[in-house]
Structure 1
Amino acid sequence: MDQRERRELGDFLRSRRERITPADVGLPAGPRRRTPGLRREEVAQLAFISAEYYARLEQARAPHPSREVLAQLTRALRLTDAERDHLLRLAGAPPETPSGPSREVRPSIVDLLRRMPDAAAVVLSATYEVLAWNDLAAALLEDFSALPRRDRNLVRRAYLGPHQGGRRLYGLSDADEFARTAARQLRAAAARYPDDAEVSGLVAELLAGSAEFTRIWASHDVADRPAFCGTFAHPLVGPVPVRGDVLDLTDRDQRVLVYSAAPGSPSAEALRLLSVIGTQSMGVPG
């Protein structure tokens, strides 16, 4: 980068820093705050970089930042997709065309999940990997934070298990339809990402381990909407009928699945109870 480009980058970082309040990122405001928004050292802390290096970036005195540092700054400063792309271009690292499904969930979407205490919500990748979830989803389905990444994939779980108590996919009444739709969507994802090793590896694993998946895969059918609603058989609160809604995040090739119940219904009361119980002492079926 030349000096002009460094100044542009520094000015942009400073403008984004000054628009964020400490409360936006869970930091105390503290006394005698003389600068609008966050302090430089607070941004550095959130981005896991040194305060000195971040200060030099804003002052147009730092060397070319790596893509890893730029990704950390994107998260710390809560940049939109357009702002992230602008930051990359200012730093001389233009956005790359993704070769595989995105696993990066926008901070605003994570915040949205947290602001839905009465609904269970998860974010799925194009290959049905659970990328983000709220507390009620963990209580209704499973505590995904306790699982390794590979075990958070719902297509793998639907076809390869575990199926505790003989019940498929958390005891969902429409689990078979979900499995069929997921296989057809995975075929479409495999066509979008033909060179991605994780996608091809997942397909190969399912073909080797499930005759049912192999039959569906051989039909060459594709689908564009997930089917994940019905009644969950929960080990603590019993049957929980839910409504399923889908929000498409087309720019990331992700989906938000939201499970809710009619206000005042027994299901709503069951979800309310689950929100109180949380994931403590739960043997949630797989």
Structure 2
Amino acid sequence: MDSQELGAFLRSRRERISPSDVGLPAGARRRTPGLRRDEVAQLAFISTEYYTRLEQARSPHPSREVLTGLARALRLTDAEGDHLHRLAGVEPAAAPGPPLVVRQSILDLLRRLPNAAAIVTSATYEVLAWNDLACALMEDFSALSRRDRNLARRAFLGPHPDGRRLYGVSDADEFARTCALQLRATAARYPDDPETARLIDELRTGSIEFAALWDAHDVCARPTLCKTFTHPTVGPISVNCDSLDVADRDQRVVIYTAEPGSPSEEAMRLLSVVGTQRMDVPG
């Protein structure tokens, strides 16, 4: 526990928050910026004396519950909350499950990629966000239930009657193997997440191949650098596949781009106009 740094950090966070930020009346003119110590203590459900000792580096080791209350009271970000815990000598609590909220800047990035198909996936391969070209190239994710937007489930369990076919993509077998290996690592990061456990149980029960891959205990997969989609309207489209990690959310941005000047680039341009329409369906 670094008492001096902990006290200085608490003080700096307290001074940046106005009473209106936490729903408190401003009251009479304040001598110092931010909240008073007694207000922080009230919001964190601890005594003013104890909070004062924390800021003055005179307090014993605070509990995880106290730190959680202070993080909430001071409106700390996830990174600031983790920093607070480490200053107090307490390991930050692990997230209960893979984060499912996509940062706004990432959503904005997807919209700024008109010539590329892009999706955001969670640590369990749930598609969380997408742009229009991704829907045109792969599938209209907006028309699917959350359950059907999980790429690992679709890779091993259908939904197509001919078994495991994922959007007519060339690397379906390799992608499925990658899913199994990555899910083992995900399960280790979120051992107490019931949703992750249910997904893995469902895949092990419903797919002999997934069960075999899971029981092999492998965790390393080769990245897929290119793949070909067999599209019902424009035919085969070969694309480069780049995956960017969003480390603080345990998510991936997957971007599909065609080689400049290639027939696939022309096909992608056509898809950007056609969208999710099916020109091969009468009427």
- Give the TM-score normalised by structure 2: 0.68
Matches within 5 A, 1:17-96: 57=23, 60=26, 88-91=72-75, 95=81
Shift of 1:219: 0.4
Q: Pick closer, same or farther for the CA change 1:273–1:87 going to 2, 3 Å.
A: farther
CA distance in 1, matches of 2:136, 2:279: 8
CA distance in 1, matches of 2:26, 2:279: 52
Shift of 1:134: 0.5
Shift of 1:162: 1.3
Query: 244, 248, 252: which one pairs with 1:251?
Result: 248
Q: Pick closer, same or farther for the CA change 1:276–1:165 going to 2, 3 Å.
A: farther
Maintained 8 Å contact 2:148/2:154: yes
Describe the superposition over 1:186-235 as per-residue Cα deviations: whole angstroms up to 9, x where unpaired: 01100111100000000000011000101111100013665374100000
- SS in structure 2 of the partner of residue 132 of structure 1: strand
1:199 pairs with 2:196 = yes
Q: Pick closer, same or farther for the CA change 1:207–1:5 going to 2, 3 Å.
A: same
Maintained 8 Å contact 1:185/1:224: yes
Shift of 1:104: 1.0
Aligned position for 1:231? 228
CA distance in 2, matches of 1:104, 1:221: 29
- SS in structure 2 of the partner of residue 246 of structure 1: strand
1:118 pairs with 2:102 = no
The one-letter amino acid paired with 1:214 is A
CA distance in 2, matches of 1:181, 1:114: 27
CA distance in 2, matches of 1:279, 1:178: 24
Shift of 1:101: 0.4
Describe the superposition over 1:153-211 as per-residue Cα deviations: whole angstroms up to 9, x where unpaired: 00000000112666710111111000001100001100111100000000000011000
CA distance in 2, matches of 1:126, 1:157: 15
Larger Rg: 2
Maintained 8 Å contact 1:6/1:60: no
% same residue = 61
Gaps of 5+ in 2: 1-12, 28-38, 44-69, 82-92
CA-atom RMSD, angstroms? Answer: 3.1
Query: 169, 174, 186: which one pairs with 1:189?
Result: 186
Aligned position for 2:160? 163
CA distance in 2, matches of 1:207, 1:167: 14
The one-letter amino acid paired with 1:203 is I
CA distance in 1, matches of 2:154, 2:280: 16
Maintained 8 Å contact 2:117/2:256: yes
Shift of 1:60: 4.6
CA distance in 2, matches of 1:195, 1:180: 24
The one-letter amino acid paired with 1:8 is I
1:176 pairs with 2:173 = yes
CA distance in 2, matches of 1:122, 1:99: 24
Q: Pick closer, same or farther for the CA change 1:10–1:229 going to 2, 3 Å.
A: farther
Shift of 1:281: 4.0
Q: Pick closer, same or farther for the CA change 1:93–1:251 going to 2, 3 Å.
A: closer
- SS in structure 2 of the partner of residue 251 of structure 1: helix
Q: Pick closer, same or farther for the CA change 1:181–1:91 going to 2, 3 Å.
A: closer
Aligned position for 2:135? 138
Aligned position for 1:31? none
CA distance in 2, matches of 1:281, 1:195: 43
Shift of 1:274: 0.5
Maintained 8 Å contact 1:158/1:179: yes
CA distance in 2, matches of 1:239, 1:100: 37
Maintained 8 Å contact 2:110/2:119: yes
Shift of 1:88: 4.6
Describe the superposition over 1:95-126 as per-residue Cα deviations: whole angstroms up to 9, x where unpaired: 56411101011100000010000000000100
Maintained 8 Å contact 1:120/1:140: yes
The one-letter amino acid paired with 1:105 is V
Aligned position for 2:17? 8
Aligned position for 1:277? 274
CA distance in 1, matches of 2:210, 2:18: 49
Maintained 8 Å contact 1:128/1:154: yes
